[in-house]
Amino acid sequence: MSSLGKISLIIRDYELDFTNIDSSLSVKATTVIKKGHMISKTRIAKFDIWIYDVHFFSIDDIEIKIKEFVDVFGEKQAEILRIKNQYKYVGITCNIVTEYGQVGILLSPYLVEKLNMLSLGIDFDIISYGNVEN
C-alpha cells in the first residue's frame, strides 16, 4: 500500500549537528541531507536538512498520525525550543497527495494545544488531482 502522505519535523540550517539533534530529540532522522548534495536531477541542497517522517495511508489517519507525531515530541519541549533558537528553520509539514478535489482536515483542540506547547505551527501542503467522489 502506498502512502497518502507524511508528517515531517524538518530542521534546516547551513550546518547541522545531526548526531546532537538525534540525541536531543531521542529519535533518529528518517532522512538526512547534507549541504551541497544532489536532492534531485537538477537541484543541490543549499542547507543541511534533518527530517523525521511519519507516513499515513488514508485521510482518516491524518489526525491520528498527527497526534502520534506530536506525542513523540511532547516531552521534548525544552529541546525543541533550544533547537529552534539554534537553527535557521524548525517546523512541521504535513504533505498530502490525493485524487479528491476537496479535502477537509480537522485539528482537535488537543492537537492545537500540543503544537502550541511545542511552539510549532504546522504547514499543510496538499497536491490534489481534482477527482470527485460520488
Cβ density class 8-22: b for 16+ within 10 Å, e for less: bbbbbbeebebeebe
HSE-up (13 A, CA, CB side) for residue 109: 0
Q: Band of the pLDDT at 2, cuts 50, 70, 90?
A: low
Domain boundaries, the chain: 5-131
pLDDT average, residue stretch 59-68: 85
Joined together, the cell numbers standing for residue 32 give 538526512
| Residue range 64-122, pLDDT digits in tens | 888 888 888 888 999 999 999 999 999 999 998 887 767 778 888 988 998 888 888 88
Taking 60 as the threshold, does the pLDDT of residue 134 lie above it?
Answer: no
What is the distance between the alpha carbons of residues 107 and 123, in angstroms, rounded to a whole number? 12
| Residue range 8-53, pLDDT digits in tens | 999 999 999 999 999 999 999 999 999 999 888 899 999 999 999 9
